[in-house]
Amino acid sequence: MKKKLPANIDTIKVALVDDVPLAIEGWKRSLKNEVDIEIALETTPNKLSEIRKYPLPVEIILVGAWWLATKAGREWLRTLKGLNYRPKVIAIATTEIEIRNAQKAGVDEAALSPIKRGDLVSLVRGLSRDDKRVSEFYANRLLEIRQAKGNNTSYEDLIYSILQLLFDSDLINPKYVDRDIGVRDLIFLNLGKHRFWMEIKTRYGVDYLIFFLGNKNANFVSSELDELGKYLDGPFGRFGILFTRNDAGKNACNLQLAIYKNYQKIILIMNEVHLREMLALKAARMDPLEVLQDLYEEIIGSSMHVK
């Protein structure tokens, strides 16, 4: 399921380079569904070294580290590094020796296979993305969509893109789930290594994290809290996140606490103010998870004062 970025936000163009087509296919499978990544070139090392037209039309080159240990590979890398504008090079190695040799040759990043999909995506994004520019664009889009009407799908797609930006290496394989009321919710596989993601996995059993999209320009409806509470079982564990465009209101917050006290289920309630705060942290190269952690700790703290 791949969405398109708006025309004024460029995708990250990537070249996949190896002699073995199956290796290219594996890398391609890991990257092809990412909203902001475009496979612009698939070729062999020999053909890549024959290219004399610079700059190359890509930002990232993913290449087998073995080739960079050859004379042709070393010469190619020296030529590339001498350019004023050049793509960043990620070498995928099969041994620690290949890692060291690639680093010595001057690649931008080197990774030891087998590399996890999320880690590969993070490497590509980390070397290329202008988080400040993209975060600012999405923050502005939140304001624009708030003023529009009849655009539920656009709002859901925007939330999808924002979550991909914020948690690209932690929450993967996003899928839409349709509800009967004409709303699509999002489910992510939780592979996060951050303390927060690991805590909700171990304490609340969250293998898959569900985001309910309360996507109406109206007062918050507490019935959605009840509905999400019923979903929280099995692989979803006892933790979920509910989005609303508006402030939740006192009644919804009281119900949120009651669900935790009675069923030990945590439901974080987020609105657009929280999303903009997270985008601001991302733009500043800080941790957007701070917002989720604050909301989580607020529930735990408030529950101690509820009789």
Q: How far is CA 253 from the centre of its chain?
A: 28
Instruction: Give the C-alpha separation, 110 to 99, whole Å.
Output: 6
Helix, strand or coil, per DSSP, at residue 58: coil
Phi and psi at residue 267, to the nearest 5°: -125, 110
Instruction: Give the C-alpha separation, 87 to 99, whole Å.
Output: 19
Pair 241, 267: CB distance under 8 Å: yes
Q: What is the CA radius of gyration of the chain?
A: 22
Pair 64, 57: CB distance under 8 Å: no
Q: What are the sequence ranges of the domains in the chain?
A: 12-128, 132-303
Helix, strand or coil, per DSSP, at residue 287: coil
Q: Can you give the pLDDT at residue 258?
A: 93
Tokens of 218: 């109206």
Which CATH architecture group holds 132-303? Answer: 3-Layer(aba) Sandwich (3.40)
DSSP sequence for 197-241:
HHHHHHHH--SEEEEEEE--SSS--THHHHHHHHH-SGGGTTEEE
> What would the pLDDT profile of 277-305 be if each residue is shown by its tens digit?
999 998 887 889 999 999 999 999 987 76
Question: DSSP code of 37?
Answer: E
Tokens of 97: 């020796």
Q: Can you give the pLDDT at residue 115?
A: 84
Bridge partners of 38?
Answer: 13
Q: Can you give the pLDDT at residue 79?
A: 82
Q: Can you give the pLDDT at residue 55?
A: 62
Which residue matches tokens 């669900």? Answer: 259
Which residue matches tokens 């899928």? Answer: 175
Instruction: Characterize the bridge pairing of strands 208-214 and 184-190.
Output: antiparallel
Residue 146, CA distances (Å) to 7, 41, 168, 296 in order: 20, 38, 25, 26
> What would the pLDDT profile of 30-50 be if each residue is shown by its tens digit?
888 787 788 999 999 888 877
**Is domain 12-128 classified as CATH 3.40.50.2300?**
yes
- What's the count of helices (H) and strands (E) in the chain, helices before strands? 13, 10
Which residue matches tokens 């062999």? Answer: 44
Q: Can you give the pLDDT at residue 22?
A: 92
> What would the pLDDT profile of 77-109 be if each residue is shown by its tens digit?
888 877 656 788 999 999 989 988 888 888 888
| Intrachain domains 12-128 and 132-303 with the same fold | no
Question: DSSP code of 113?
Answer: S
Which residue matches tokens 């990043």? Answer: 109
Residue 254, CA distances (Å) to 238, 298, 306 in order: 18, 13, 9
Query: CB neighbours (10 Å) of residue 90?
Result: 24
Pair 15, 58: CB distance under 8 Å: yes
Furthest-apart CA pair in the chain: how many Å? 74
Q: Can you give the pLDDT at residue 180?
A: 64
Q: Enumerate residue ranges in the chain where pLDDT < 50.
A: 1, 3, 5-8, 217-218
Pair 200, 232: CB distance under 8 Å: no
